[in-house]
Structure 1
Amino acid sequence: MGDRLHLAVGVMGNATSVLLYAAPILTFARVIKKKSTEEFSCVPYIIALFNCLLYTWYGLPVMKVAMIVIPGLIVFSITALISTFVFHDHHHRKIFVGSVGLLVSVSMYGSPLVVVKQVILTKSVEFMPFYLSLFSFLASSFWMAYGLLSHDLFLAAPNLLGSPLGFFQLLLYCKYRKRGIAEEPKKMDLEKNDEKSKQLRL
């Protein structure tokens, strides 16, 4: 009796969960039809998605199939439904994608600076590719100009940083390019140093 009751309650729980998460379909259908999110907020649906992800994860270690199947299907469904919000909510989509793009662009243009310390210490540009620095400067300069002309902050902002960084790399290259490959200690010098250290120990 106890097992049957347990099973029945589990089935009813899954059934009502399906109905709960199917309820927003009418809202999403309206969004698609009008091609606008109007005053609807996507926050409840995003939270519902995270809730399903957590309970799907919770059900995996103990292998409770009934607990995994429904949340798994709901995760897929809500993800598909939220995509309609993303597609039709142009303002928030621009802010979100623009913010992510800004961070990624700044990271991309700043990444060659990792070797700047090595260039300054060794006074060699062997490990700082010239063409990467050159085209980084040119691309960021053109996109900075385009972003400023089109009054697009998300496009101009990362390039306002990327252009000077690219120029700085070119300055380093011009300064140290004649040094060529960083000189390695000669074998004879190393042997002499080893002999001196042995004599000191004795």
Structure 2
Amino acid sequence: KQYVNIKLKVTFPLNEVASSSLSLSLSFSLIFYFFLSFSSEMAEPSFYIGVIGNVISILVFLSPVETFWKIVKRKSTEEYKSLPYICTLLGSSLWTYYGIVTPGEYLVSTVNGFGALVEIIYVSLFLFYAPRHLKLNTILVVAILNVFFPIVAIAATRSAFKDEKTRSQSMGFICAGLNIIMYGSPLSAMKTVVTTKSVKYMPFWLSFFLFLNGAIWGVYASLQHDVFLLVPNGVGFVFGTMQLILYGIYRNAKPIGLSNGSSEITPDEEEGLTSRAPLLS
């Protein structure tokens, strides 16, 4: 079996599911790029930065593919959790709406629209293979976070504000706030590294992509003069930088106090790692 290693503590096996998902995303990016290549807006530096950000974000969205390939293959969710994907679906959905109602932010809406579609597939697979008691709990959480909350947020901004710019700003505030809250995971990872003197729970490539994703979208936000994109991605860039520094300090250190005394990542730990980088945009 061949592997394409993207090193988000996730390897993409070239099976039918992973390869077709990756092909779909790359095809989407290429079609989107060539379609917009006829637009005069392509001359703007922010366009090129945004396209790069789209590609990076698509790869991050696809990072849990192997986790769900295992779920499908074993026909069981085992110890895997659905909450990270439900939260990512919430963020992607709201960012998609923000990109639609904000002039010039189509690159934000396209990548997050793709991300929302991918997360819907992840959550659907989880619901299909989850045991009955877990399935009912997951449906309840999905109904609250992915149906009720977005409807209320969109309806509230549209009814409270008549001006499109104010609606866009209020939605941007909500999206940025959710992203910042989700940065609790990288903070937790950094605390664990310092406590255990082990980078087991903070793989280099995951930290690097958090850093790179924040940097690219931070530059894009600066060029677009979009503070709602700039703040959360600036925070992501800072956290990514801090994680890379910690990795350099502790990568050769002798681990202490690990729960299983092993440097190997268990399946449950692996699933948790794929959700440590909040997306994005």
TM-score interval, normalised by the smaller of the two chains: 0.3 to 0.5
**TM-score of the aligned structures, taking structure 1 as reference length:** 0.45
Name the larger-Rg structure.
1
